[in-house]
Chain A
Amino acid sequence: MDRPDKILHAVKRPRGGVNAKHLKITREKPVVRITAPEKVVIPMSQHIGAPCVPTVKVGDHVDIGQLIGDSDKFVSAPVHASVSGKVTAIGDVKNCAGQTVQAVTIENDGLGTVWAGIEPPKVDTKEDLIKAVRASGLVGMGGAGFPTSVKLSYKPEQNVDTLIVNAAECEPYIAVDYRECVDNSWDVLSGVYDLVDILHLDRVIIATEDDKSDALGILKNIADKDNNSDKNVVRLMALKAKYPQGAEKLMIQSATGRQVPAGKLPADVGCVVMNVASVAFLARYLKTGKPLVSRNATVSGDDIKEPNNVRFPIGTSVRDLVNFCGGFEEEPGKLIVGGPMMGFSIYDEDIPMLKNNNAVLAFKKSSKLIKKETACIHCGRCADACPMSLIPTDLEKLAKKGDAKGLSENGIMTCMECGSCAYSCPAGQPLVQYMKLGKSIVKKAGAK
């Protein structure tokens, strides 16, 4: 291995993908903290896995960082109060994906009292770390929301030697990971070193797209000067700016040349992939012990008056975030939580923003929000764009037929719903919708 004086390039470039416009208009705006909203709605399920059970009752007083929901299941992550105040309701709400989830509503008393029980965790071993990460409520902040403690609970025989810090942020508009690298570069690197020390990793690769290589430059300068750099494990990698470079499996392939087998996890090829915001949070948590109660999101789109990057308490509504950014230019035609490629379009501004939501986008009615659907012309652009080497048009036809066997034989479960196929389709076919349908057909058939 050579010294980190030069920035690495992908070992093996992924296939397919699309050249979507970047539109990162908030890129040069440092993150601003939102005025804490009057109330927050905190769902008990903000992650992949078992939902939490509320540990508070209506009428209880809670402080920032106090546990309000927990679960004894392995795949889960606890939730904490993000403002101080009184629990006014516990009931069902809709999340951005349209699912009904239980949520705790807290009325903000405006005092911002931090819970007295917060103290930095003692972490010496990997077991300590997993316990601490679990207690912090950390989930993958890049979008998927997979509990980080589960991610780190890999087995020794999996020989995990590589940490990949994902700062690709390949979705258009979103710029919070870039801001994390630029504004909190010290947190990112100290998080990296904490993980290297505790997990005994051989190398760390921080990867971003090459249009954000100034962020890499800043990280590199610190990495070069840092005392820890005698360990010489941190590498910086610039990927071609092409969606979906940040997809976990593609990132592992770009960084190491390893290919995660279908249905397996990154640890099976010796890798742990963490979002850059998760790593920076971890560093702060290990110092202060303050759990995951706030995060950053880009509020942008052509219908937002003052697009910005905002730090908000978990459970803040989309409405509060939009109002903080000057409100809408006009009545929006489409509201999206997440990026334009994989985000959820919502119809209700009261939907709460969660641990894994990195953007709110609003678009005018005049924007091209829907592409008219015409017949498939079998041009193959979807297959060319698919980074997973699938043939989406075939899968669409199988999904329409409800052919579970054909769908799984043609690899539908490999689809990560990145949207490259539907983006490239000249006929405007809603391919991702059919991929989702296809997956549910296969799951149902398997459950029988």
Chain B
Amino acid sequence: MTSENENKIIVTSSPHFHTSKTVRGIMADVIISLVPAIIASVVLFGYRSLLIEFVCVACCVLFEYISRLIMKRDVTVGDLSAVVTGILLALNMPVSIPLWMCVIGSFAAIVVAKQFFGGIGQNFVNPAITGRIVMLVSFSSAMTKWTAPLVWRTGVDAETTATPLSFLKHFTGDTSALPTLKEMFFGIRGGTIGETCAAALILGGIYLVARKIIKPVIPLCYIGTVAVIMLIAGKGSLTYVAYEILSGGLLLGAIFMATDYSTSPITTKGKIIYAVGCGIVTSVIRLFGNLPEGVSYSILLMNILVPHIESLTITKPFGTEKKKKEKKTEEAA
């Protein structure tokens, strides 16, 4: 574009100034916010985590590139959104996952969930979550084979372990079979490579909020809803609530996946409804369902409801709000 206009004066609609923020910059910030979780995944589950992350990112970018080419559209890999999808998908894998399955997951995420619907901004479900669910349904045993953390350092063959969530299903108040809360916070428990280390995820979340990439409303309402429901279900046991929040993929989902722009509502009111919905569905699946985990399904379900939430929570334009106290407040001046 610039090459043809080099010697001409440019005429555009106002405004003539723009923010320096770009889509690529936003995605780069998301990638930076995921770095602590990536480091944690390597520390906890070994270098194979890095390999999984590399394969997922490479496949996502490649699939994005190829599908844009085939569909004869602008190649958009430069916006880094496929990299974000790749990292998030990888963080949702157990460390023992065969790599060819990662390729299929990446295909489902990028080609089916994202590019079939028009690419960035057009997808109505979160690509990484869709990829994960496709894998969870297709390869359920491989996807739920949990390796104990830190054992890779001992050189012993990987042993499998259960996730805290399966203990919590039949929680009696006895925490001896569970990791301590401190271990839970730093990720020393069974789970996917990216979901266990709460400290790293929260750090990333704080970075995103500080850089104004996300607003804290979705993570807080989502986690808050789960906490309230679990407090009732656990008959007031705060330990139980803490275990529930630190278990499974709740933090990863609430901070990084439920906040995806394309698949969450724009208005604050909409965000609250959406996040509370996610919290309720997650809790119901955890309490009553047969599934190992509810976070992915709840976000997917609420993604589908976003257009309806948006049409219900549209903001009232200036001057059409209810005329309340208008005449009163002025006299205060």
Whether A390 and B315, one on each chain, are in contact in the complex, defined by CB atoms closer than 8 angstroms, is yes
With an 8 Å Cβ cutoff, the count of chain A residues facing the other chain is 75
Q: Does B319 contact A (CB under 8 A)?
A: yes
Map CB proximity to A onto B267-298 as digits: 1 under 8 Å, 0 otherwise.
10000000000000000000000000000000
**A379 contacts chain B at the CB level, 8 A cutoff:** yes
From B96-104, B114-122, B168-176, give the one contacting chain A.
B114-122
Contacts of B315 in A (CB 8 A): 383, 389-391
Does B16 lie at the interface of the complex (its beta carbon under 8 Å from any beta carbon of A)? yes
A-B contact count (CB 8 A): 179
Contact A378 B17 (CB under 8 A): no
Is B314 a contact of A8 with CB atoms below 8 Å?
Answer: no
Which residue from chain A places its CB closest to the CB of B78 in the assembled complex? Answer: A374
Contact with A along B223-258 (1 / 0, CB 8 A): 000000000000000000000000000000000000
Distance to closest chain A CB from B305 (angstroms): 15
Whether B15 and A414, one on each chain, are in contact in the complex, defined by CB atoms closer than 8 angstroms, is no
Instruction: Give the nearest-CB partner of B319 in chain A.
Output: A262
Contact B16 A426 (CB under 8 A): no
In the complex, the answer to whether A343 meets B119 with C-beta atoms within 8 Å is no
Q: Are A375 and B10 in contact (CB under 8 A)?
A: no
Is residue A445 within 8 Å, beta carbon to beta carbon, of the partner chain? Answer: no
Q: Do residues B267 and A391 form an inter-chain contact, with CB atoms below 8 A?
A: yes
State the Cβ distance, B269 to closest chain A Cβ, in Å.
Answer: 12
**How far apart are the CA atoms of A332 and B317 in the complex, in Å?**
39
Contacts A336-B16, A343-B14, A369-B10 known; A374 to B320 CB distance under 8 Å? Answer: no
Let me know if A257 and B318 touch, CB within 8 A. no
Q: Which residues of B contact A74 (CB under 8 A)?
A: none
B16 touches A343 (CB 8 A): yes
Bound state CA distance, A428 and B17, in angstroms?
Answer: 10
- Chain B residues closer than 8 Å to A20, beta-carbon distance: 17
The listed residue (A249, A259, A263, A374) touching B321 by CB distance below 8 A is A259
Contacts of B316 in A (CB 8 A): 389, 411
B70 within 8 A of A: no
Min CB distance, B261 to chain A, in Å?
A: 4
A-B contact pairs, 7 of them (CB 8 A): A256-B330, A259-B323, A263-B319, A264-B319, A333-B9, A388-B319, A391-B315
B residues at A contact (CB < 8 Å): 1-2, 6, 9-19, 21-23, 25-26, 76, 79, 81, 118-122, 261-262, 266-267, 314-321, 323, 326-327, 329-330, 332-333
A interface list, Cβ under 8 A from B:
8, 11-12, 18, 20-21, 172, 205, 235, 249, 255-264, 269, 332-336, 338, 340-347, 361, 363, 365, 368-372, 374-381, 383, 387-391, 393-394, 410-411, 414, 417, 419, 422-428, 430, 432-433, 436
With A11-B329, A205-B333, A342-B14 given, can you name 17 additional A-B contacts, CB distance below 8 Å?
A: A255-B333, A256-B330, A261-B323, A262-B317, A332-B9, A340-B16, A345-B10, A365-B6, A369-B16, A370-B2, A374-B23, A389-B318, A423-B19, A426-B22, A428-B22, A430-B12, A433-B12
